[in-house]
A and B are shown apart, each in its own frame.
Chain A
Amino acid sequence: MAQEFRLPDLGEGLTEAELVSWAVEVGQTIELNQVIGEVETAKALVELPSPYPGVVEELLVAPGATVPVGTPIIRIATDAATPEAPARTPVLVGYGPEAAAESKRARRRSVGPETGRPEAARTDGRRPDASPAARLAARERGIDLAVVAGTGPSGAVTRNDVESHAGQSVPPEPSGTAETVQRETRTPIRGVRKQTAAAMVRSAFTAPHVTEFVTIDVTRSVELLDRLRDLPEFEGLSVTPLSLVAKAMIVALRANPSLNASWDEENQEIVTKHYVNLGIAAATPRGLMVPNIKEAQSLSLVELCRAITELTATARSGKAEPAQLTGGTVSITNVGVFGVDTGTPILNPGEAAILCLGSVGKRPWVHEGELAVRWVTTLSVSFDHRVVDGEQGSRFLSSVAAMLHDPASLLAHL
């Protein structure tokens, strides 16, 4: 018969380990406690002795792979005469938290379809209070806890509540071939979504964010853009407020280099960049991407327009190269294209600032002492307060705002 050896918790409370190498191969006869391979945990590099004598039937994990505790890693055909270790539900030792989720109970539970009836579909989205026994009983009977009236402490659902609820109502399961109405869809977290989530969490919880706002009259910039569009140099390019904001931002960074920097935790250093790799957040079919324009500080406005046009096009078609997606030093996100006023963006991990451009629209505005209809927008900037103080962040933002308010002032810096 065959025995599977599951990766044990080799330290105290470890959840995963990397399989470094195998010391045995398929077909090889091995003894009890013979070293079958090496694994590296967060704590140590250790050799794994085989818990069974027999013949290696299959190596289930490739060297280099990091697998959770509890993952079967090798299958060994054992002599039928070999007494099998008594089946035993691990209580405290030997299996980490990951494996616990894989216990007998969990596996039996997943018989139903993944997108089955929700466990708790309360309108407020909160998980209803219930005792563990009540939860188990409800899950068993396919009862949504949210629809059970609780009589326990603070209205918690007790097992009795579940039982009596089950008594009065048949679970509203559509019978026969009728299609089950799905009230929730479960989508595995993977790919870009997973990476975005990880990057956002990392950024939000390592860099203390500060966000500042400024609302400005950009009528002159809008007019300037209109005129630029007519110039032969800009033919075929999309000349948008974004390109002008990018240019102003690059100029403003010269006087405020701390926003074009990164925090190097490992070396306890702040790295100030003397070049700008300008990231542009782009909504693509695969999710959020932030490709960046390399050496943006050396580009003319025309070149910047072209670079932005090309970059966002490649990103949207899903063809952005890894090199375009890494090495950014500072970013812009243009939420204005969705018609919203502004936002509080989260920093691209490793960067110290991100500028957010809101929608540019006609608003009532006091212009030269009188109420007038002007093109107005709101800019915001989020910065890493470890690297950037409020003073520099504010100076930077007001400097960008000033250049957009009067684009002629941009010329002074070109």
Chain B
Amino acid sequence: MVDKIAYPVQLIQPDGRRVFRPDYTSLVRDIGPDQLRDLYEDLVAARRMDVEAVALQRQGELGLWAPLLGQEAAQVGSARALRPDDYAFISYREHAVAYCRGVDPGVMTRMWRGCAHSAWDPSSVNVTNPAIVVGSQGLHATGYAMGAHLDGAEIATIAYFGDGATSQGDLAEALGFSMSFNAPVVFFCQNNQFAISEPVHLQSPVPIAQRAAGYGMPALRVDGNDVLAVLAVTRQATQRAREGSGPTFIEAVTYRMGPHTTSDDPTRYRAAAETEIWKARDPIDRMRRLLEREGLLSDEFLARVQATADAVAARLRSGTVEAPDPAPLDLFDHVYSTDHPLIDEEREQYAAYLAGFAGIEEALS
């Protein structure tokens, strides 16, 4: 296990050449030319979608957005390892996970536009809505997994979180609980090197994956910019979960190429030289080089990818600018799943307040 932590699993090198790792290659034996092309399309579409959302924020259509730029492979590779009945608990940056799970890009921005508390029905795609509370995903996933375990469901639950989140008590509890109860969880940490402006070495002097050892949890590091390697290790971990072998911790080593959110300016805390190094490890370029080397790139294919990506971006844009504003009283919906006297009282008060304005607006126009 020590070597797994020291050397991240890699199946594709940055120049597009394959790495010979029989133990992991065997996990992705079914990924032939078409599947490789599909993965590439997912990566490109995810980036295109994300770039569109950033533009929408700059145009005043979104309050905030947390870009995933650079983390496409970690997200697509892990999400594509999931089965439909597996369940993903995401943070605020996993737009590509949501996309791969089948979330309509047209609703992806609802929460960021502030026009809805939630964007999609989690149970329709088995992926939660974006959650800002750092580290909560670990507890939620562990609880869900424990429930699934008690139900005898053969599913895996995956918790997405960042390197910074591993310093959060919630995550420590989640790791402890999941081991004690052998919960079928995959802890998927995207180590994107930063928690906002704080570099990862300030979170942990040892690789993040080593933290799992304290709980007795198997852990490994994977090259998070290698979509195939991420797919392989996540398949392995979810399989362990489904067959009852308990939780696994995966540290996907990647890089947040953009700002933490649209409110952040990364040039204030990191050097351009560092960003350049990671540009050379761009997950999309790597996949493209692999396809090129293996003769799988054609103009038609590239055009198809472009068309998909543009359509996804257009859908995200139209869904955003056309999203209806919520009715003021919607505020009280979904606080409780059933009626609640206090909520009813507040709703009535607010309705009466709003009714006080009736007729004035018309007089104004």
Contact = CB atoms under 8 A, between A and B. Distances in A.
A binds B: yes
B64 A46 contact: no
A320 to B, nearest CB: 40
Interface string B123-134: 000000000000
B242 interface: no
Interface stretch (B25-33, B200-208, B212-220, B262-270): B262-270
B326 A133 contact: no
A140 B358 CA distance: 13
Contacts of A48: 58-59
A46 B268 CA distance: 13
Contacts of A105: 364
B321 A86 contact: yes
Interface string A274-311: 00000000000000000000000000000000000000
Contacts of B364: 105, 108-109, 136, 140
A95 B357 contact: no
Interface string A35-75: 00000000111111111000000000000000000000000
A156 B4 CA distance: 71
B274 interface: no
Which DSSP category, helix, strand, loop or mixed, fits chain B's interface?
A: loop
> Which bucket holds chain A's interface residue count?
35 or more
A358 B327 CA distance: 63
Given A44-B264, A85-B321, A131-B356, A92 B59 contact: no
Contacts, number: 93
B58 A44 contact: no
Given A43-B264, A93-B113, A108-B364, A33 B55 contact: yes
A93 B114 contact: yes
Contact of B115 (A45, A92, A132): A92
Interface stretch (A6-14, A215-223, A230-238): A6-14
B27 to A, nearest CB: 39
B337 interface: no
Interface string B227-265: 000000000000000000000000000000001001111
A89 interface: yes
Nearest to B328: A91
A49 B356 contact: no
Contact of B262 (A10, A33, A109): A10
Which DSSP category, helix, strand, loop or mixed, fits chain A's interface?
A: loop
Nearest to A96: B60
> Which bucket holds chain B's interface residue count?
20 to 34
B60 A91 contact: no
Contacts of A10: 57-58, 262-263
Interface in A83-122: 85-86, 88-95, 105, 108-109
Contacts of B325: 88-89, 91
Contact of B58 (A46, A86, A89, A140): A46
Interface string A375-389: 000000000000000
Contacts of A6: 60
Contact of A86 (B268, B322, B365): B322
Given A11-B263, A44-B264, A140-B360, A93 B62 contact: yes
B60 A9 contact: yes
A137 interface: yes
Interface string B307-327: 000000000000001100110
B52 interface: yes
Nearest to A109: B364
A263 interface: no
Contact of B360 (A50, A92, A133): A133
Contacts of B64: 12, 93
B357 A5 contact: no
Contacts of A85: 321-322
B170 interface: no
A92 B63 contact: yes
12 contacts: A8-B59, A8-B60, A9-B63, A43-B263, A44-B263, A46-B58, A91-B325, A92-B63, A93-B115, A132-B356, A133-B353, A140-B360
Interface of A: 5-12, 33, 43-51, 85-86, 88-95, 105, 108-109, 131-134, 136-137, 140, 159
Name the 10 nearest CB pairs between A and B, nearest first. Answer: A8-B60, A44-B265, A93-B63, A92-B114, A133-B356, A93-B114, A51-B59, A94-B60, A49-B55, A11-B263
